Each structure stands twice: as C-alpha cells, then as structure tokens.
Amino acid sequence: MPEPVPGGPLSLRVPALAELELLLAVARLGSLGQAARALGISQPAASGRLRALEQRLGVRLVRRSPGGSRLTDEGALVSEWARKIVEAAEAFDAGARALRGRRDSRLRVAASMTIAEYLLPGWLVALHAGHPGTAVSLAAGNSATVAGQVLEGAADLGFVEGTEVPAGLDRAVIGHDRLLVVAARPHPWARRRIPVPAAEVAATALVLREPGSGTRQVLDAALAPYGGPAAPLLELASTTAVKAAAISGAGPAVLSELAVAEELAAGRLTAVPVAGLDLARALHAVWPAGHRPAGPARDLLSLTRRPRDRPS
Amino acid sequence: MPEPVPGGPLSLRVPALAELELLLAVARLGSLGQAARALGISQPAASGRLRALEQRLGVRLVRRSPGGSRLTDEGALVSEWARKIVEAAEAFDAGARALRGRRDSRLRVAASMTIAEYLLPGWLVALHAGHPGTAVSLAAGNSATVAGQVLEGAADLGFVEGTEVPAGLDRAVIGHDRLLVVAARPHPWARRRIPVPAAEVAATALVLREPGSGTRQVLDAALAPYGGPAAPLLELASTTAVKAAAISGAGPAVLSELAVAEELAAGRLTAVPVAGLDLARALHAVWPAGHRPAGPARDLLSLTRRPRDRPS
DNA sequence: CCCTGGTCATAAGGCCAGGTTATTACCCGA
DNA sequence: TCGGGTAATAACCTGGCCTTATGACCAGGG
C-alpha cells in the first residue's frame, strides 16, 4: 500500500489554481491591477492572493514598483512550474467540457482510450483557441465501440488505434503510435545499445497491462511468432501503475510511446532497442464512408492530421 | 465587471486539487471512507466533495455500492487527466520546498535555469519518495553562478549545461540536451525528411529566445560558421512564448529538446532534421574537486545519472 | 435470525478564507 | 500641480466547506 501522502494532502501545500493563474497573469501583463481585471477580481484581492502565495512559498516572487510589477528570478522559475499545472488544468477542462455536453453538441467525437487520454485534450485546447464557438462531446471506448458509434451516426468523427477499420468507414492516418520496451536505469536493458532480440523479449518476464487491454493485444500478437510473451512479472490495470512499477525498478515494461514520452525525456525511463519486432500501429481518424468531414469535424481533423499521411 | 477570458478563469471551471486528489484516492483505495481517511477529512466531506465534482462535470465518475466504490469509464478517463494535474502539482511542491528552505537544508543544490525548470522537480519528487527525510534547498542561476556557488561551498551539488567547467570542480555527465529546430505542420520544414543544410538554417528568420539566454548563445555559436543566425522573425523572452509562437505557425523555432518533448510526442510540433550542425550539449553535475558526493548529494546524483555516461 | 461492521447519504450548525468597497500612499508625465 | 497609473491597508460580510450526528442499506457470522 502506497503511503497516504506524508506531510498531508498536496492541496494544503500547493497553491490553488487561482493563485497560479494570477502569477502567470502578472507575468504576462506586467501589473497586479491588470492581472486582477483579466481574472475578473478586484485589485486588492489580487494583491492579497499574491501576498498569500509568496508567504506560503516563503519566497519573493514579484518585484512591485509604482509603474508595474516584474517577476523575480525565483518568480520566473516558480511561474514555469506553475505553468505546467495550468496547462494540465486546461487539458482537463477541454476534456471535461467535451465529456459533459452529451447530446446537444455540434461536434460529437468518439475516441479510443489512449487517444482520449493523451492526445485529444491537446487537440481540444487548440480547437477551442482557433474556433472558440465549437462545442464538442466525447465518448471514449475501445476501437470497436468507436467504429460502431461512427457507423450509427452517434458520433461525427472517431479516433482509433489499430489496423483494421470496419467497412463503411473512410479513414485518414493522423499519426503513429508504437509500443516501447522501457526500463529503468538499474536494469541491464537500459544500457543496451545493441538491440535485444525479439526472442529474448518474448522469453523475459515483463511488467504488462492486463490481458484484454489494447496494448496487451498488440504485444501478444507481435510476440506470438517468438513463443508469445512469457508469464508477466506483474499485471497491472492502469498505464500509470505500469509506469510506476517500471520506474521503481520492478522490471522492463511495455507501454505506448505516448504514455512514456515525458519519462523518457526526463531520463526516468529508457527506451530499450529491440530487433525484429514491429510494435507500431497507425492512429486513424474515421468517419462514415462518403461523408467527408465538414465544418467543426474538418477543423478538428485539420489539427490532427500529419502532413506526410494522406487520407485514403 | 466584464470577463475578458471566455468562460472565466480556469479556476472556476476546473475542480480544486483537493477534489482531484480525492478522485485518485477513491480510485486507488476503492472506497470513499478510506479515501477520506487517507486525506485526513471526514467521510461526509469526501462524499460531498465527490458529489460536487460530479455535478460540476455533469458526469457520473464513481459507481457507489455498499461494499465499495469503483470508477466508471468516464471516471477512469477523468482521473487520468486529473493525474496529470496532480503530478504537475507534486513537481511544483518539490521545487517550491527546495526553493523555500534557505540555509538550514541538509542538501543544497544549485542548478541552471533549464535544469531547474524541467528536470529538477522530477528528481526531487523521486528523491522525496526514496529518502523522505531529505531537505533540499535550491538556488537557480546561469552556469557561471552555479559553478561559483559550488566552489564557494554555498552549494553541495551543482547542475550545469554547457561544455566548459571551471577548474576546481569534478563533474559527471548526467544526460544530454540538444537544441532542436522545430516547426508546426503548416510549415514546409515540418515535412522535410531530407535534412535542411545548416547554411539554410542560418539564413532563415526564426523564432528565438532573446540574446543572452543560454539557448540563444549556443545557437549563435553553432551558426556563426555559416554566417550567424539571420535577423530573428520574433524574439521572445520565455521558452513558452517561443513554443506558442511556433505552434501557432509563426515560423520555425529553436528550443531545447527538454522544452518541446511533449509537443513533439503529441504532434503539435515536428523536429526538423538539420545537417551539419551540432546543437548538443552535455548536462553535468559538478562538485568540489576531490570531495566525492556523499550522503544526500550521492542519493540525488544516483537518481540523475544515466548509465552510459560515467563520471570523469 | 439478528447483530456487527462495513458501505454511503443527509441534516444542522459553525467557522474562517477570501471576496468586496473605500481609502491611503506613492510615482511619473503632462 | 494635478490626473492617471501603480500597490497596500482596513473593515466588513458572505458563503463554501468542514464537522458531528444520524439513518439506510448490505454482507457475513454467531
């Protein structure tokens, strides 16, 4: 059982989003009063909020002067960390809005779990920035249900992983996903520069998602010619749990590159080169055959389409 | 009073961290009451919070039953988005704690801005997980000041970018950073598979950080043999502003790969292959010559060291 | 059979965080 | 010297959110 958070819940130690937004607004606009107006609060409220923020952190974030306010060096650093939170909150909001508007939305999207988790929020933020009026609704499921909803007309646009697309749907490749074998630094595979043979991967106990999950199916199929995957070291029900296990050194894991991009960049995990395995799968947008996406669906699609991948 | 932001500030539309933490705790522990205890609040408070969260989102997140509570499909999706926010908040907290504890900390770290922004919070989270007692203080600055602080004994461990390390310091390579030329999809460079010649990069107006910034210095030096960088298309004071400009299609930009890892993974930006330019720079940990890091400094160092890079 | 221990929801009461308005102080440029 | 910008302080008030107390429901065991 993981620790129930030493030092109390995060929410007591991390400033509220409103305070972080204020800091960013001050950084952007150069004055407390303007930032206050931008957030729809009074100037004294902004002054108080910022003072509370500085007191909680024990650091001076802003150099006030009659004529404006400017971030200190520490303030710049803190505001970058804060920006990460705010960006995650924007993605959350974009996703939540889409999830909320059930029937009456102008653009109904259905997406597979992986795409809905990692890609869609970013697209929706961009869509909202470019086409503010667009209301989107979202249904998430596996590839089969997504295809079904698009076929039935319950969704205007679908996003699926995997290679087979049912008849009756047109599709466009919007990107590629790839399962990666990843390992934390203590593991020998993390030092490999010479690719690990596929047969060795197939014979090794790995940290995996549970059977039935999309990534597990792809892996099982890819490893079948080599004797199938060995009995898993751990079988976990969520991508995050698999990541955590791999990072803590339980053993090598197999995950979508979308899920581990950040860990790879920060060096918490290393991609293990593998020889003779094709774990790539295309990401497709799908829509009813013949009905080329128009209006909002076209807007969204144009945000997602990669230039080198043309629709069929 | 008007609201200049469409839909009002994020803080009014995104649930507070406490609510997101609760959702994750429920997902992890399987019951409202246990989650409440883990967060140190009463069970009715948890019930109320969760109800408020579901009402705000307009979606049922949890299936209650006598015997426990389980996430719905939408709940699983929302909790993944929430997890992103909470992880960003954990990184913020780790950084903020380090920034706050000024003198009395057991481990004093000095780091360059880029490392302090993108890498250090993750390390501190990991350090806190592995060695809960460690108190860390952080000073951020450019590479020269970091080296100075370590030399003076004002910091136990330093992290710098760049190749030159002053005498009197031992160092270990802990990773590599690389400036990338990035472009959004509309730009022709985003479709290039054949590398762009360095001379063409040097002749093209780019979106850049302001002169004096670390990344700008590296770029200027690298492009000098080819006639130096052309007059910038835009000169912006923050990494985020440069990213935003590039994503919105202003033109190609040059940024640290640490700063754009997420945008590359999500396809919002594309790395442009460039021929004949070496924009890589090693990331070093540094400490006073002869005094091999011990205790907390060693703990932190072991979290950051990549296996294929051995200390001198 | 019913008691016990687990789940969760509802009700009533109280506290305090954070907002508001009004006012003061400061600085700069016209 | 006066207006328009900056930010800070004071006094007041509202309402969100927590607490405790209680009730309904369900499963398992004596």
Q: Look at residue B308 and tell me whether its pLDDT is greater than 80.
A: no
Q: What angle separates helix A43-57 from helix A17-29, to the nearest 10 degrees?
A: 110
Average pLDDT over residues A171-197: 90
Name the nearest CA neighbour of B178 among A265, A80, A151, A66: A265
Q: What is the model's pLDDT at position A310?
A: 34
| Rounded mean pLDDT, B248-264 | 90
Cβ contact, residue pair B40, A307, below 8 Å = no
CB distance B280 to A276 below 8 Å: no
Q: With CA atoms as reference, report the closest residue to A143 among A174, A175, A172, A110.
A: A110
* pLDDT above 60 for A176: yes
Distance C25 C1' – B242 CA (angstroms):
39
In angstroms, the CA of A22 and the C1' of D2 are apart by: 33
Percent of chain A's residues with pLDDT above 90: 59
Tell me how far apart the 2 most distant CA atoms of chain A are, in Å: 73
Share of chain B above pLDDT 70, in %: 94
Q: How many CB atoms lie within 10 A of CB B16?
A: 16
Q: Which two tokens stand for residue A261?
A: 């991009």
Question: Phi/psi zone of residue B81: left (φ > 0), alpha (ψ -120 to 50 degrees), beta?
Answer: alpha
Q: Does B1 touch chain A (CB under 8 A)?
A: yes
Question: With bands split at pLDDT 50, 70 and 90, how would you rate the model's confidence at B2?
Answer: very low
Q: What pTM was estimated for this model as a whole?
A: 0.91
What angle (nearest 5°) sits at the alpha carbon of residue B13, between those of residues B10 and B15?
100
Q: Tell if the CB–CB gap between B99 and A304 is shorter than 8 Å.
A: no
pLDDT band at A98 (very low <50, low <70, confident <90, very high): very high
**Average pLDDT of chain B to the nearest whole number:** 88
Is residue A211 scored above 80 in pLDDT? yes
Asked if B221 CB < 7 A from strand D, the reply is no
For residues A199 and A311, the model is more confident at A199
Residue A309 pLDDT greater than 60, yes or no: no
Phi, psi of A131 (to 5 degrees): -135, 80
Nearest CA distance, B227 vs chain A (angstrom): 31
Structure tokens of B163? 């190749």
pLDDT tens by residue, B34-57: 999 999 999 999 999 999 999 999
User: What is the arithmetic mean of pLDDT over B168-189?
Assistant: 90
pLDDT, residue B200, reads: 93
- Measured in angstroms, what separates residue B66's CA from nucleotide D30's C1'? 22
Closest residue to D19 measured CA to C1′: B42
Q: What's the pLDDT at B226?
A: 92
Structure tokens at A125: 């933020």
- What pLDDT does A109 receive? 95
